Amino acid sequence: MFVDIAKIRIKAGKGGDGHIGFHREKYVAAGGPDGGDGGKGGNIVFVVNDHMATLLDFRYKRKYKAEDGQPGGTKRCFGKDGADTVIQVPRGTLIKDGDTGMLLHDMSDDQPFVAAHGGKGGWGNAHFATPTRQAPRFAKPGQEGEERFLLLELKLIADVGLIGFPNVGKSTLLSMISAARPKIANYHFTTLAPNLGVVFVSEGSSFVCADIPGIIEGAAEGAGLGHDFLRHIERCRLLVHLVDAAGSEGRDPVEDLGTIRRELAQYSDVLSQRPQILVANKCDILDPESDNLTRLQKRAKEMGMPFFQISAAANQGVRELVFAIWAELEKLPPVAVYTPEMVMEEAEVSAYRDIQIHRGDDAVFYVAGAWVEKVVGSVNFDDYESRMYFERTLRKAGVFDMLEAQGIQEKDTVDVLGIQFEYIY
């Protein structure tokens, strides 16, 4: 089964908590704090697998989670980092943000892509020791890993796309010029999924050709299979447009040419401007009295398209067409790689941006936000030094300035995630 769109949810691993511990050893007085740091949470990493040609695997598994980091230990031992979760996708897969639809990365090269970063490990209490705070009884918890909803969209990577009405001989041509063996039969929609084949030209010269099925009139609006598979020719550098010159199904090949070109234009202006070669197929069964070839040649000349006459089934003119395709490809730029529309920021970069402060009807100033949750989770409110650390952290983050900008007065009540205290200048 060919699947080219999938929706998944990913979650990176949580960082391990820092450890609260004190060095205890015989004959060692006041050993001091020795709590170690927690390990980093695992990342969610995407890599290309050239042996995959579909997103079928993601139909059955939609949630992916990386391993959490281990908590720190005594003797300042670091916790073990969580293992990354590696997700394999076919080459040409676009990774988009599931909520906005914006492109995050194009999996067209061999570079891995980190789609969700694991949370950082928390500091152990050994980090908080100072000359005046020699026995800190608090540590930082590990940060939560990033969580994302993703849309995966496969756009096959091919140099050449074979387009045309059903049953004009696209699959037959692909089987003649490459080692691909698509299903071939004398009825419409024999091909239900794009087929790829590598075409050998000469020593060290080859190109990838894709047979795109199901383009008929109305394809841009969803008729036939064209709406599902038009996306797969967006990367193609060159389009080879096949028409049935013999009109074996009672259609006019010149009208077919115009119909498909209109569908391309409706789907994408860029795609309609892509270089094309017009190929009249089934010339071996052409009626000698037909003027189809003359009309097609005239139309191709008007549009500035190279024109070839072949019979894919009889292997007539096929090799000449291959050489002509290669000559055109030599003039064209490489296969398109899409530029990300959305740059992901690690949570640490935008940590302070989600702080929310509002004054309630009860005159209490409420402070909330994901970053605030992390700070509160790292504080032992039964310990005086830990509370002082909490106050300094809020002040450094600008929370006090934000409160004063909203008109807070001395002795007003501030609520930080359910923990209330009086505001004192």
The shares of helix, strand and coil residues in the chain, as percent rounded to the nearest 5, are 25, 25, 50
188 and 311 share one domain: yes
Query: What range does the domain containing 84 cover?
Result: 1-154
Question: Residue 211: which H helix or E strand, with range?
Answer: strand 205-211
pTM of the model: 0.73
Residues 268 and 211 in one domain: yes
Residues 318 and 178 in one domain: yes
State whether 9 and 78 are in the same domain: yes
Q: In this structure, is residue 343 part of a structural domain? A: no
**Token pair recorded at residue 96:** 């988009």
Question: Can you tell me the distance from the alpha carbon of 253 to that of 307, in angstroms, rounded to the nearest whole number?
Answer: 13
Query: Residue 359 forms beta bridges with which residues?
Result: 365
Stretches where the chain sits below pLDDT 70 are: 1-2, 182-193, 214-229, 342-353
Establish if 255 belongs to a structural domain.
yes
Whether residue 124 is found in the same domain as residue 74: yes
In a domain, 340, yes or no: no
Same domain? For 378 and 307 the reply is no
**Residues whose CB is less than 8 angstroms from the CB of residue 260 and which lie 6 or more positions away in sequence, other chains included:** 163, 164, 165, 215, 241
In-domain check, residue 11:
yes
Torsion of CA 108, 111, 115, 121, to 10 degrees: 180
Residue 131 lies in a domain: yes
Residue 344 lies in a domain: no
- Structurally, how many domains does the chain consist of? 3
71 in the same domain as 113: yes
Asked, for residue 334, whether it belongs to a domain, the answer is no
Query: Within this chain, do residues 14 and 150 fall inside the same structural domain, yes or no?
Result: yes
Q: In the prediction, which pLDDT does 235 show?
A: 84
Q: Check residue 362 and give its pLDDT.
A: 86
Tell which of 125, 154, 183 closes a domain: 154
CATH number for 112? 2.70.210.12
- CATH code at position 410: 3.30.300.350
Is the domain of 289 the same as that of 211? yes
pLDDT for 220 equals 46
Question: Is residue 69 in some structural domain?
Answer: yes
What is the spatial distance between Cα 360 and Cα 364, in angstroms, rounded to a whole number?
Answer: 5
Domain identity same for 168 and 312: yes
In a 13 Å sphere around the CA of 343, the CA atoms on its Cβ side amount to 3
Q: Are residues 386 and 367 in the same domain?
A: yes
Residues 88 and 37 in one domain: yes
Q: How many residues does the chain have?
A: 425
Q: Which of 296, 329, 362 is the last residue of a domain?
A: 329
pLDDT tens sequence across 223-246: 455 556 677 788 889 999 999 998
What is the per-residue pLDDT for 184?
Answer: 60
The residue from 295, 329, 363 where one domain ends is 329
CATH number at residue 303: 3.40.50.300
